[in-house]
Structure 1
Amino acid sequence: MSAVRTLLGQRVRRDWRQLLLWTIGTALLAYLAYVGVAQSYGTEQDRAALLATVIANPVILLFRGLPSGADQGAFMLFLIFPWLAFLAALMSTFLAVRHTRMDEELGRTELVAATPAGRITPLVATIVHGLIANAVLAGLTILALLGTGAGSQGAVLSGLAVGAVGVTFLGVGLVAGQLMRTSRGANSLAVWVVLVTFLFSGIGNAAGTPSADLQRMESSWLTWLSPFGWGENVRPYADDNPWPIVLCLVAGAVLVAVALALQSVRDLDQSFIAERRGRADATRSLRSPTALVWRLTAGALVGWAIGGLLTGMLSTSLASVVDSISADNPAVDQILTAMGGSTDLARATVSIFFVLLGVLAACWAVQIISRARQEEVAGTAEPLLSTPIGRVRWLGDYLIVGIIGIVVVVAAAAAGAALGIASRGGDWALMQDVAVVGGGQAVAASVFLVLTALVFVLAPRATIAVGWGLVAIATIVGLFGPLFGFPTWLVDIAPIAVTPQVVAGGIDLRGLGWLVAIAVAGAAASLALMRRRELAPAG
C-alpha cells in the first residue's frame, strides 16, 4: 500500500492543475446551465413548447439529452447533461492513457517496475487516481447544482451520473492503453469510442418513442449501447432512477479488470495491436521536414475531417427541417436566434453547427502543436534539429500543416453542407452562409493554433493543458453562452463566437479584424521567440 500511496501522490502532483480545470469547469458549466435556463426559459410553458418542437424534430436530439419533462431541473439536464458527461469522459480517458501508455513510452514505467512496486502497482495507482478525479468532479457538480437551489436528490443523482460515466471511460482509456503501441494511438482509440458512443446515445434518443404530449422521450435500444445513454436514463429531477449509475460503475469495473488482466500478461513497451510496419526507405514525399510533419499527423486529420463532413451535412439538412416547421413556435425562434445570431432560422441553424465546426477545427489546431511537444518530449525532435533544419523552420512546419488541416476540416464541412442541401432539396443560397461562416471559423481556429504555439514556446510543459483548456473555455462561452444568457462581452471573448455572418444587408464581419490580427501577430511572435528557446524535456 505504501507504493500505491507514493505513486498516487506523484500522479496528483503532476495532474492537479489539469484536474482543477476539468472538474471546476464541468461544475461551472452545470451551474451556469441552470441559471441560464431560469433566465431564458423561466416559465413551464416556454420549456414545454421547446420540448414539443424538439421531439417533433428528433434530429435535434443528436446533440441534446433525453427529454424527461418541463420541470426546470429536468429541462436543464436535457440541454446540458451529454456535454457534462462528455467532459468527464475526455478527462478520464486522457488521464488513463497519460499514466499508462505514455509513461511506458517515456521509460517511466520500466524504472518503477524495477523497484519493489513491480508492474501492476502503477496501474492500480492510476485506477485509484482516476476514481478520485471522478469523485471530485461528481462532488463539485453536486455542489454547483445545490448552489442553484435545485432539489437535493436530483442534484446528487446528476453529479453521480456524470461521475459514473467518467468511471466507465476511465476503463476505456485503461484498456486502450493496453491495446495500442503509442499514447497517440491509445488516445485516438479512446476518443473515437467516446465520439461513437456519444453518437449512439443521440441517435438512440432520436429514434425513441415520444409521449403523447411531446414532453418526454423513451430511448430506443441503441441508447443502451452507450454510457452516455445510461447516464441520461437516470433522469434526475424526473424519475430519479439510480440503476443506470450502477450499470456505469459495473461497466467501468469490468473494463478495469480487463486492463489489469492484459497488463499481467503483456511485456512492457509491447501492445496487443501491433503498429503498422513502415517502409524500409522513405518515399519522395518525405524529402522535406514539412512533409514529415504531414505524414505524422495526416491520420488524425482524417478523423477531424470526417467530423467536419458530418457537421456540415447536419447544418443544412436540419436547417431545411427547422425552417419549415418552426415559423409559429416562439420557443424555437428564441433558442435558435440566441445561439445562431440571426432571425432567419435556417441561417441561424447553419451558424450554430458551424460554431461546433470551429470547435472541431480548434481541436485539430491544438492537437498538432501538442504533437510538436510530444516529439520534443520523446526525444525525436532533437535528431531532426541537429541537422541544418533550425528551430524556427521546425515550428513553422507545424504551423503550416496546422493551417492546411484547418482548411481541410472546413472544406469537408462545406462539402457536407452541399450534400445536406442536395439530399433534402434545400435552399442553395445557404451555401453563401456556409462559405462566410466557415471561412470565419477557419480564422478562429487559427487563433487557437497560434496561441497554443505561443504557450509551446514560452511554457512548453503547459502546452497540452493550456491548449485544450482554451478550447474548453471557448466552447462553454461561445457555444452555450448565448443559450444561457451570458453577458455579450463575455461571449465575444470566444473566437468561435465572433466570426462573420450573412445578414439581410450583406455580410457582418463582426470580430474578423481582431481575429486576423491575433493570428498573424501570434504566428510571428511564436516563430521569433522560438529562435532562442532550448529544447525542454518532460516535466
Structure 2
Amino acid sequence: MSACTGTGRLVRLALRRDRVQLPIWIAGSVLLLAAGAAAVADEFPDEAGRLAAVKGAGTSPAVLLMRGTPVGTDLGAVVNFRNFASMLVLAGLMSTFAIVRHTRQNEENGRGEMLGAGSVGRYAGLTAALVVVGAADLLLGAALTGTLLGAGLPADGAVAFGAATAATGLAFAGLAAVAAQLFQSARGANAFAATAVGVAYLVRGVGDALGERAPDGIQVTSAWPSWLSPIGWGTQARPFGEEVWWVLALPLVFLVACMAVAFAVADRRDFGAGLIPDRPGPAAGTRLLVSPLGLAWRLNRGTTLGWLIGSALFGLGIGTLGDTVNEAMTGNTGVTELLDQLANAGGATLVDTFYAAMMNVYGVLAAAFVIQALLRLRSEEAGGPAEAVLATSVGKVRWVCAHLACAAIGATALLVLAGAGMGVADAAVGGVTGVGPLVGAGLAQLPAALTLAGFVVLVFGLLPRLTVMLAWAALVLSIAFGLLGEIFGLPEAVRDLSPFTHVPPIPAAAVTAGPLVALVIAAAALTAAGLALFRRRSLAL
C-alpha cells in the first residue's frame, strides 16, 4: 500500500462534506464582485470622475492601507481597486478553513482514525484536502474571471484578476496544510491560518501605504513589505493595469514549499499529535477554576490579551493619521466619498468621517474576537472537556453564559482600548476629537458584535456541527452587506441584514439610541433562543 492509497475516495468524501460550504463561498464571492463592478459603473460613468477618485486615493496612506494600490483610471482598474483585495482575503479564508476541516479536524474528532483503519495511506488525507481546495480555488478564479468578462471588462485584466485570486488561495492552502501539522487542535490551526491571512493583508497594506507615487498622481509602486505577503503577491499582478504575469509564480512556489514541509512533518509525527502540542496545565488548579466563568477566562486568557494589545497599538497608529488625512485630503471629493461610504456618514468633517470609518473596522475586529471566543464552546463539546464539566453541578446554560460573558467583556475592553488609543494619539498630534467621543464611538460598535455573538449561540444550539462554518460566514456576509454594501451598490434591504449597518457613525454623526437598543434586543433574543435549544439537545461530536 502506497502513502497515497485511498486519496480518490477521500476526495469524494470531502466533496460530499463540502457540497454546501464551498459553493456558498464561491457564489458569495461572485455575487459581491458582480455587485461591486456594477456599483463602480454606476458611480463613475465617466473618465473625469474615475480620475478624481483614483488621484485622491493615491495620495492617502489610509486608503492605500485598506484598499490597495490603484493601477489606472479605466473602468476595470477602478473595479480592481475597489474589490481585488477583498477577493484575495475571501480566497485565503476559504482555503485555510477547508484545509483544516479535512485534516486536523478529522484527527481531532476521531473521523481520521476511523478512516485510517481502512486501506488509506498516510498522505491520503492531506493530499485529498489539497486536491479539493485546489479545485475550489481554480473554480473561484474561473468564476470571477467570467463575472468580469460578463461585465464587459477587458479579457487580459479579467484573467489576471481570476488567476491571482486562485493563486493566492492556493498559497494559503499550503500554509494551512503546514498549520494543520504544527498544531494539535483544529482551533489552533484555524486561528494561526486565519491570523496569517490578516497579517498578510496588513503587511500588504503597509507596503502599499509606504509606496512611491508616480508623477501623474495615479499609479503607486508598492514598497518592499508588500513583497513579503501572499496577498501582496496577488496585488502585484496588477489586473487591468500593466499585468505582471510572472508574479503569479510566487504563490505557486510558496505552495510547493509548504506542501513539502507539510508532508515531511506528517511523515514524522504521531497520528493526532502536533509539533506544537497543547501545553499541560499545572498540577494543582487555582480557586478561580472552580467556577465556569473562571475556567472560561483561563481558556481564553492568552487569546484575549493578544487581541487587547493589538487593538491598543492599532488605535494608537490610526490616531496619528487624523491630522495627515485632514491636510492631504481636504477638497478631494473622491476620497471623501469613499470614506463616507465606509463610515455610512455624510456632511461631517473629513477627520471625523475617517475616524468613524476606522471605528467600523474596530467593530469588525470585536465581532471576530467574539466569534473566536465563542467557538471555544464547540471545540470543548467536540473534544470532550465539555462533557466532564457538565457532568458536575454546572448546567448547560451556566456553562454557555460563562463563555459568553468572557467574550462580551473582552470585546468591551477591546473597543475601549481602541478608542482610547486613537483619542490619545489624536490629541498628541494636535487633534481636537477627544478621547471621550472616540471611546464612545468604540462602545457603539459593541451591540453589533453582540448580535453576531447571539447568532453564534443560536447556531451552536441548533446546528452544532455547522457552528464554525456558519459563524465565520455570518461575519463575512455582515462585512459585505454592511461596511461594503454601499460600495458594492447593494439594495438597502440587503444592507439592513448586517448589524454593522445600524451602528451610528460616531463621531461623524450624533448618537441615536434606537438602532443600538434594537441591536441589543436582537442579540438577547438570539442568545435566549440558542440557550433554549442547547438546553434541550444532547452533546454532539
Pick the TM interval, shorter chain. over 0.9
Letter in 2 for 1:172: L
Question: How far is the alpha carbon of 1:44 from its aligned partner?
Answer: 2.0
Distance change in 2, residues 1:423/1:77 (3 Å): farther
**Pick aligned residue for 2:281 from 278, 282, 286:** 278
Correspondence for 1:365: 370
Question: How far is the alpha carbon of 1:165 from its aligned partner?
Answer: 0.3
**Pick aligned residue for 2:429 from 424, 433, 437:** 424
List gaps (5 residues or longer) in structure 1.
none
* CA–CA distance in structure 2, aligned partners of residues 120 and 524 of structure 1: 44
Letter in 1 for 2:440: V
Question: How far is the alpha carbon of 1:307 from its aligned partner?
Answer: 4.3
Q: Deviations over 1:307-330 (max 9, x none)?
A: 433443354333332223323222
* CA–CA distance in structure 2, aligned partners of residues 505 and 108 of structure 1: 52
Give 1:477-492 correspondences, 5 Å limit: 477-492=481-496
Correspondence for 1:379: 384
Distance change in 2, residues 1:339/1:88 (3 Å): same
Correspondence for 1:185: 188
* CA–CA distance in structure 2, aligned partners of residues 229 and 43 of structure 1: 29
8 Å CA contact 1:173–1:186 kept in 2: the answer is yes
Correspondence for 1:446: 450
Give 1:75-474 correspondences, 5 Å limit: 75-340=78-343, 341-344=345-348, 345-429=350-434, 431-474=435-478
Give the secondary-structure state (helix, strand or coil) at the position aligned to 2:487. helix
* CA–CA distance in structure 2, aligned partners of residues 229 and 506 of structure 1: 38
Question: How far is the alpha carbon of 1:503 from its aligned partner?
Answer: 7.2
Question: How far is the alpha carbon of 1:2 from its aligned partner?
Answer: 6.9
Correspondence for 1:526: 530
RMSD: 2.0
Question: How far is the alpha carbon of 1:419 from its aligned partner?
Answer: 3.5
Letter in 1 for 2:194: V
Deviates more, 1:359-368 or 1:84-93: 359-368
* CA–CA distance in structure 1, aligned partners of residues 135 and 168 of structure 2: 14
Question: How far is the alpha carbon of 1:49 from its aligned partner?
Answer: 1.9
8 Å CA contact 1:66–1:233 kept in 2: the answer is no
Letter in 2 for 1:356: V
Question: How far is the alpha carbon of 1:298 from its aligned partner?
Answer: 2.1
Correspondence for 2:74: 71
Question: How far is the alpha carbon of 1:18 from its aligned partner?
Answer: 1.5
Correspondence for 2:38: 35
Question: How far is the alpha carbon of 1:355 from its aligned partner?
Answer: 1.2
With the length of structure 1 as denominator, give the TM-score of the two structures.
Answer: 0.95
Question: How far is the alpha carbon of 1:244 from its aligned partner?
Answer: 1.3
List gaps (5 residues or longer) in structure 2.
none
Give the secondary-structure state (helix, strand or coil) at the position aligned to 2:18. helix
Deviates more, 1:277-286 or 1:481-490: 481-490
Deviates more, 1:482-491 or 1:194-203: 482-491
8 Å CA contact 2:375–2:468 kept in 1: the answer is yes
Question: How far is the alpha carbon of 1:3 from its aligned partner?
Answer: 1.5
Q: Deviations over 1:405-448 (max 9, x none)?
A: 2112212211321233134221234x344233322210110000
Letter in 2 for 1:425: G
Correspondence for 2:480: 476
Give the secondary-structure state (helix, strand or coil) at the position aligned to 2:273. coil
Distance change in 2, residues 1:2/1:181 (3 Å): closer
Letter in 1 for 2:497: I
* CA–CA distance in structure 1, aligned partners of residues 48 and 137 of structure 2: 36
Correspondence for 2:515: 511
Q: Deviations over 1:86-137 (max 9, x none)?
A: 1111111111222222222222323333322121111111111111111121
* CA–CA distance in structure 2, aligned partners of residues 254 and 476 of structure 1: 33
Letter in 2 for 1:386: A
Question: How far is the alpha carbon of 1:526 from its aligned partner?
Answer: 2.5
* CA–CA distance in structure 2, aligned partners of residues 45 and 403 of structure 1: 47
8 Å CA contact 2:72–2:240 kept in 1: the answer is no
* CA–CA distance in structure 2, aligned partners of residues 73 and 510 of structure 1: 40
Deviates more, 1:348-357 or 1:43-52: 43-52
8 Å CA contact 1:304–1:364 kept in 2: the answer is yes
8 Å CA contact 1:200–1:225 kept in 2: the answer is yes
Deviates more, 1:506-515 or 1:144-153: 506-515
Question: How far is the alpha carbon of 1:158 from its aligned partner?
Answer: 0.4
8 Å CA contact 2:187–2:379 kept in 1: the answer is no
8 Å CA contact 1:61–1:205 kept in 2: the answer is yes
* CA–CA distance in structure 1, aligned partners of residues 507 and 445 of structure 2: 17
8 Å CA contact 1:157–1:234 kept in 2: the answer is yes
* CA–CA distance in structure 1, aligned partners of residues 384 and 304 of structure 2: 23
* CA–CA distance in structure 1, aligned partners of residues 508 and 238 of structure 2: 42
8 Å CA contact 2:59–2:328 kept in 1: the answer is no
Question: How far is the alpha carbon of 1:509 from its aligned partner?
Answer: 3.4
8 Å CA contact 2:352–2:433 kept in 1: the answer is no
Distance change in 2, residues 1:310/1:377 (3 Å): same
Q: Deviations over 1:223-259 (max 9, x none)?
A: 1111111111111111122111122112111211211
* CA–CA distance in structure 2, aligned partners of residues 199 and 66 of structure 1: 13
1:8 aligned onto 2:41 = no
With the length of structure 2 as denominator, give the TM-score of the two structures.
Answer: 0.94
Letter in 1 for 2:468: I
8 Å CA contact 2:360–2:483 kept in 1: the answer is yes
Question: How far is the alpha carbon of 1:506 from its aligned partner?
Answer: 4.3
Question: How far is the alpha carbon of 1:518 from its aligned partner?
Answer: 0.6
Distance change in 2, residues 1:277/1:423 (3 Å): farther
Give the secondary-structure state (helix, strand or coil) at the position aligned to 2:68. coil
Give the secondary-structure state (helix, strand or coil) at the position aligned to 2:321. helix
Q: Deviations over 1:423-475 (max 9, x none)?
A: 4221234x344233322210110000011101111222221222111111110
Letter in 2 for 1:507: V
Question: How far is the alpha carbon of 1:13 from its aligned partner?
Answer: 1.4
8 Å CA contact 1:433–1:501 kept in 2: the answer is no
* CA–CA distance in structure 1, aligned partners of residues 63 and 52 of structure 2: 14
* CA–CA distance in structure 2, aligned partners of residues 2 and 178 of structure 1: 20
* CA–CA distance in structure 1, aligned partners of residues 276 and 523 of structure 2: 40
Distance change in 2, residues 1:465/1:191 (3 Å): closer
Question: How far is the alpha carbon of 1:520 from its aligned partner?
Answer: 2.0
